[in-house]
Amino acid sequence: MAEVTLTGGFWAKLQQTNAAATLAHCEEWMERLGWLANFDHAADGTTGPERPGWPFSDSEVYKLLEALAWEYGRTADPVHGAAVRRLTARIARAQDPDGYLNTAYGHPGRQPRYSDLEFGHELYCTGHLLQAAVARLRTYGEDELTAVARRAADHVCDVFGPSGRPDICGHPEIEAGLAELGRALGEPRYVEQARLFVERRGHGRLANVPFGIGGAAYFQDDEPVRTAGSWRGHVVRQLYLAAAAVDVAVETDDGELLAAVERQWAHTVARRTYLTGGMGSRHQGEAFGDDWELPADRAYCETCAGVASVMVSWRLYLATGDLKYADLIERTGYNLIAASPRSDGRAFFYANPLHQRAPGPAADDGAVSRRAEGGTRAAWFDVSCCPTNVARTLATWQTYLATVAGERELTLLQYADARIDATLGDGSPIALDVETAYPDDGTIAIRVRQAPPAPVTLRLRVPAWADGAWLEEGGGRRPAAPGAVVVERRLRVGEELRLHLPLSPRHTWPDPRIDALRGCVAVERGPLVLCAESVDLPPGLTLDAIAVDTASPPTDRSGGTLIRASATTDADHAWPYDNRPAPRDTPAQSTEVPLVPYHQWAERGPSAMRVWLPAAPR
């Protein structure tokens, strides 16, 4: 947290909006809807059967608290410090003497504690409470929140420990919370409890199996983490579980468990992941689809799944040093997480489809959205997991920029205007200033402000798409192949390295086995996935009736990217299947179609949108 500061550019702007608008926005909505007052009612014994919000609404308060704690750590803004203390006090009052803390269960007029492990989300909520406490611990130190978290974690260990109930929660999250808190406090009991929960899963312990949405696989209780071949079922459940499994594997030095998650990541990225990094092909069950089932229009790609995917990839990178995980973090960051918040930070996408067939209705910023459908960002949701998840992720984005390893190795993973003041493994300080207009421009200047007298290893990630990158150093230049370019020498204070990533817009083609995308092409520019929006089309044209001329490469012009396309009329035929292969509508005109970054779509009002565009026959 303290060693890297974003000083400008794409992510700094998102962080600032998050701090200035989103955090207060979330607190206001939860106050308005009574989700915060639920804690007061639990404390005062006035909960009753009409408690507002879903049973898991406590978790939104905890995720907001986590985001506030990280944000206070980043800027020390007293506004956020006060918010942390305000929320902590309300939460602490609601904790029962034995450490149990949940506003939906175990109160007069409510169901008893742990009476619905499948869908009650009690341990899930506790997991988020523990993660909030970790954020506070890592940015401030022990305070009242630590005490609340300790009591809650001890209570979980008492009830569900080796000699307690051998059960698990329908929605994984407690595992990650316990592992992180155990690590932060040096408390092996919590890590061990996380390990127990991870190992218990996959043996059909959960009853009340939701058959219509995938059965036991819905909550990953069909097969143990250690042996499963693929990620499946509810995406956020799966990815929170996988993140915790890496934590447990690392803490317990369990190479087999780590290898299992690595294998599942590889399978899922090869066969079940969208170009944006999004995961989740089905609205039904908010779930992974089968291999190669990646419809653009019905892509669910929940924002929270993007957050969870970053959590998993980050842990896998830290455990292995493999930069492919940082590649996916970059892709998911620019094209999923950054796509969710509206530019003012006060409305969000929940689902992130890659194709919107018809413009959705305009958002009503004063209303709770019940829909997770794409097309318009909503101020708040009935199930509002995404806004607070975005908030806690943006508040920590700088932490994904750089890592140190070994004696004297520093790796730059993500590129942004940043100030880095790090301590290498041997204790020597190193300071770098990064200056870049990335992702608009591909030049990344790295100026050495401080360096040890001994040689260092500086690794600069070269994204997989960056064919033709090169590094400029000491007056010379050399090619930088995808993977990493490595500088292994003594660095001189004041010297500048310049990494050049090629940012010409490029066509991207799908694997032929992805049926939903056959015959289509997308355009990417650097790390950004681009898309066409109907608001940019000439009058009379629709996104259903254009086909990309792939012989003409996409071009950058006056601040935007253009493609050339042919347009057909969009008329009906009585029956849409025909025994002749030729298109029945002849191209009527050739036109240029401007593209915008996917993360910006629907910023100008409701619009139809496509990432994947039909390629004209050549």
| Interface with its own copies in residues 529-568 (CB under 8 A) | 544-545, 547, 550, 568
When the beta carbons of 490 and 513 are compared against its own copies, the nearer one is 513
When the beta carbons of 15 and 356 are compared against its own copies, the nearer one is 356
When the beta carbons of 144 and 293 are compared against its own copies, the nearer one is 293
When the beta carbons of 354 and 471 are compared against its own copies, the nearer one is 354
Per-residue tokens: 191: 């890590």
Nearest approach, Cβ of 163 to its own copies (angstroms)? Answer: 35
516 binds its own copies (CB under 8 A): yes
269 binds its own copies (CB under 8 A): yes
When the beta carbons of 282 and 459 are compared against its own copies, the nearer one is 282
Give DSSP secondary structure letters for 444-459: EEEEEEE--SS-EEEE
570 binds its own copies (CB under 8 A): yes
Residues 529 and 522: beta-carbon distance below 8 Å: yes
35 closest CA partner among 61, 69, 73: 61
When the beta carbons of 80 and 355 are compared against its own copies, the nearer one is 355
When the beta carbons of 119 and 140 are compared against its own copies, the nearer one is 119
Q: Return the H-helix or E-strand segment holding 137.
A: helix 122-139
**Biggest distance spanned by C-alpha atoms of the chain:** 77
Q: Find the binder of its own copies among 156, 521, 595, 602 (CB under 8 A).
A: 521
82 binds its own copies (CB under 8 A): no
370 binds its own copies (CB under 8 A): yes
* Cα 335 to Cα 390: distance, rounded to the nearest angstrom: 13
518 binds its own copies (CB under 8 A): yes
Which of the residues 382 through 411 are near its own copies (CB under 8 A)?
382
CA atoms lying within 13 Å on the CB side of residue 388: 25
Beta bridge partners of 613: 521
488 binds its own copies (CB under 8 A): no
Which of the residues 295 through 354 are near its own copies (CB under 8 A)?
295-298, 324
Which of the residues 580 through 609 are near its own copies (CB under 8 A)?
580-581, 583-585
Q: Find the binder of its own copies among 127, 177, 280, 289 (CB under 8 A).
A: 289
Give DSSP secondary structure letters for 91-115: HHHT--TTS---SSSSSTTSPPTTS
Per-residue tokens: 238: 């799966």
Residues 434 and 446: beta-carbon distance below 8 Å: yes
364 binds its own copies (CB under 8 A): no
When the beta carbons of 404 and 466 are compared against its own copies, the nearer one is 466
Q: Find the binder of its own copies among 510, 526, 554, 597 (CB under 8 A).
A: 510
* Cα 88 to Cα 361: distance, rounded to the nearest angstrom: 38
Report CA torsion sign: 537, 539, 545, 546: negative
Residues 613 and 563: beta-carbon distance below 8 Å: yes
**183, 189, 192, 198: CA torsion to nearest 10:** -80
Nearest approach, Cβ of 517 to its own copies (angstroms)? Answer: 8
Residues 231 and 242: beta-carbon distance below 8 Å: yes
Q: Find the binder of its own copies among 250, 372, 401, 460 (CB under 8 A).
A: 372
**Residue type for 520, please?**
C
Nearest approach, Cβ of 267 to its own copies (angstroms)? Answer: 7
53 closest CA partner among 65, 73, 66, 38: 38
232 binds its own copies (CB under 8 A): no
Per-residue tokens: 472: 């400029």
579 binds its own copies (CB under 8 A): yes
Q: Find the binder of its own copies among 259, 515, 590, 605 (CB under 8 A).
A: 515
Residues 435 and 492: beta-carbon distance below 8 Å: no
Over the range 54-69, which residues count as b (16 or more CB within 10 Å of their CB) and which as e? bbbbbbbbbbbbbbbb
266 binds its own copies (CB under 8 A): yes
86 binds its own copies (CB under 8 A): no
200 binds its own copies (CB under 8 A): no
Size of interface with its own copies, in residues (CB under 8 A): 71
Which of the residues 446 through 475 are near its own copies (CB under 8 A)?
464-465, 467
Provide the mask over 116-145, with x wherever binding to its own copies is found by CB under 8 A and - wherever it is not.
------------------------------
Q: Find the binder of its own copies among 49, 97, 162, 212 (CB under 8 A).
A: 212
